[in-house]
């Protein structure tokens, strides 16, 4: 690391205390780091972030995924600087957002038209509204452990503490109307037999099946997505891919290209906004048509608007990001970096003699402390969470920051970053045997 000390400054300690007073839990979402590892971000450049105390971290959070080019990429900064001179937002159609819509349609196999939103939660919410409009049905099926944003439907069984028998859902937040439970069915990921049984029993009520094609950390088993596509098509139920994470990450055409399965609708976000608030629903013109205001009053009109939808700054940032990803070798570089990290982590875990495995794809993965196969939410939950949190904390102390259960890889993570990260991982793993295994 560039700095000579890992000591927290008085200024940063003060800011942490101020955050606790004014932000619930002192955080912006649900994730928090251990008290002795918490810090306040000051700035980011490339693959690094720096805190208020001047400490440097190799960043595998990447703002929860959008920054596939790293922080303050020159192409993105230049595009944003040029656009902001002409105004920050218009609430009207503008040239950059048209160009971005065209690029999304070129990239995503399912896309003929695009409807922009500001967040991934909105994108999945409106994708389901499209499906209900088309099918004239209310129920949706989602997969246990799948996260589709913070709306009421998405927060059903996304992280249940006490899962029910399938297909009953469990609300994961207070404040969700009980009536929503009757409209959501839950299935186990990577289990086609159970999924087919649920869909067959409820096909006449189902509008859509929504799935993260790569669910959090769990890749699809061979044939799972293909089978899901065949089952939904046979029953006339729409298939929605939540590609907020996977869009433009696994491949330029997202999970649809990477896994070779084309859904009816997709929700995309994160990378497509280049680090600014932007997401979208995309699909065939027939499905997207009800967004057209000329259908207002027909009974099929989908009302959707937002002050910052189609924001030109986000659009130019997204366009600049996608242009970098289209350059020859970009995805080979990202996947290559991820593969080296995954292989190194696997070797270190084996060397440490711990029951652990690396789970995920080269672009998004983590080390899980379990030796049992991880194929769905329930097997994922068998991992030793206490060790996982301690590992994350020990890495932060050594200048490597990641989410509590996810590492994102960027185009700018270097060979030196990989070597430094693996050394930090080795040192962090050595600290873990001092812990008692969690029950």
pLDDT for 5: 53
What is the residue extent of each domain of the chain?
Answer: 74-144+194-325
What CA–CA distance (Å, rounded) separates 284 from 213? 19
Query: DSSP states of 233-268 as a string?
Result: HHHT-EEEEEETTTTTTTSTTHHHHHHT---SEEEE
pLDDT at 136 over 90: yes
What is the side-by-side order of every strand in the sheet holding 400-401? 41-45, 48-51, 56-59, 400-401
pLDDT at 29 over 90: no
Is residue 270 among the annotated active site residues? yes
Q: Which of 50, 57, 60, 147 is catalytic?
A: 147
Q: Evaluate whether the domain defined by 74-144+194-325 bears CATH number 2.60.40.10.
A: no
Q: Which of 48, 139, 142, 270 is catalytic?
A: 270
Task: Please give the backbone phi and psi of residue 103, each rounded to the nearest 5 degrees, phi first.
Answer: -70, -40
pLDDT at 332 over 80: yes
pLDDT, one tens digit per residue, over 55-97 is 999 999 999 999 999 999 999 999 999 999 999 999 999 999 9
Q: Which of 191, 242, 366, 376 is catalytic?
A: 242
pLDDT at 134 over 50: yes
pLDDT at 281 over 70: yes
Ramachandran sector of residue 270 (left: φ over 0; alpha: ψ -120 to 50; beta: rest) = left
Rounded mean pLDDT, 35-48: 94
Displacement of CA 391 from its chain's centroid (Å): 21
Output Rg (C-alpha) for the chain, integer angstroms: 22
Rounded mean pLDDT, 9-23: 93
pLDDT band at 32 (very low <50, low <70, confident <90, very high): confident
Q: What pTM was estimated for this model as a whole? A: 0.95
DSSP one-letter code for 296: T
Residues 243, 267, 140: CA angle, nearest 5 degrees: 100
Rounded mean pLDDT, 264-289: 98
| DSSP strand pairing (265-268 vs 279-283) | antiparallel
pLDDT at 436 over 60: no
């Amino acid at each position: 690391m560039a700095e000579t000390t890992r000591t927290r400054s008085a200024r940063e300690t003060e800011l942490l205390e101020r955050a606790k007073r004014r932000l619930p839990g002192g955080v912006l979402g649900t994730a928090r780091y251990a008290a002795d590892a918490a810090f306040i971000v000051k700035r980011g450049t490339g693959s690094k972030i720096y805190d208020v105390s001047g400490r440097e971290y190799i960043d595998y959070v990447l703002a929860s995924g959008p920054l596939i080019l790293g922080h303050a990429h020159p192409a993105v900064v230049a595009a944003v600087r040029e656009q902001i001179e002409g105004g920050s937002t218009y609430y009207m159609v503008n040239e950059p957002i048209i160009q971005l819509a065209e690029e999304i349609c070129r990239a995503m196999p399912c896309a003929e038209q695009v409807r922009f939103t500001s967040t991934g939660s909105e994108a999945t919410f409106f994708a389901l509204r499209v499906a209900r409009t088309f099918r004239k049905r209310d129920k949706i099926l989602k997969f246990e452990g799948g996260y589709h944003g913070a709306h009421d439907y998405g927060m059903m069984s996304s992280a249940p503490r006490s899962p029910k028998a399938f297909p009953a859902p469990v609300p994961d937040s207070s404040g969700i109307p009980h009536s929503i439970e009757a409209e959501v069915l839950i299935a186990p990921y990577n289990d086609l037999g159970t999924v087919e049984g649920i869909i067959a029993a409820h096909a006449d009520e189902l509008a859509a099946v929504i799935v993260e094609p790569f669910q959090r950390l769990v890749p699809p088993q061979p044939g799972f997505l293909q089978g899901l596509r065949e089952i939904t098509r046979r029953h006339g139920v729409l298939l929605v891919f939540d590609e907020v994470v996977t869009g433009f990450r696994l491949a330029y055409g997202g999970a649809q290209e990477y896994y070779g399965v084309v859904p009816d609708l997709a929700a995309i976000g994160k990378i497509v906004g280049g680090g600014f608030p932007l997401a979208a629903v995309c699909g065939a013109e027939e499905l997207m048509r009800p967004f057209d205001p000329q259908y207002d009053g027909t009974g099929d009109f989908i009302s959707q608007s937002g002050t910052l939808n189609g924001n030109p700054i986000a659009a130019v940032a997204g366009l600049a990001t996608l242009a970098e990803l289209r350059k020859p070798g970009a995805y080979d570089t990202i996947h290559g970096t991820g593969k080296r990290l995954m292989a190194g982590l696997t070797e270190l875990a084996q060397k440490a003699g711990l029951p652990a495995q690396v789970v995920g794809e080269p672009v998004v993965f983590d080390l899980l402390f379990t030796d049992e196969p991880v194929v769905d939410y329930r097997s994922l939950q068998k991992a030793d969470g206490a060790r996982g949190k301690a590992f994350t904390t020990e890495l932060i102390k050594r200048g490597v920051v990641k989410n509590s259960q996810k590492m994102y890889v960027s185009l700018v993570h270097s060979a030196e970053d990989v070597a430094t990260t693996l050394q930090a991982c080795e040192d962090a793993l050595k600290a873990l045997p001092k812990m008692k295994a969690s029950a």
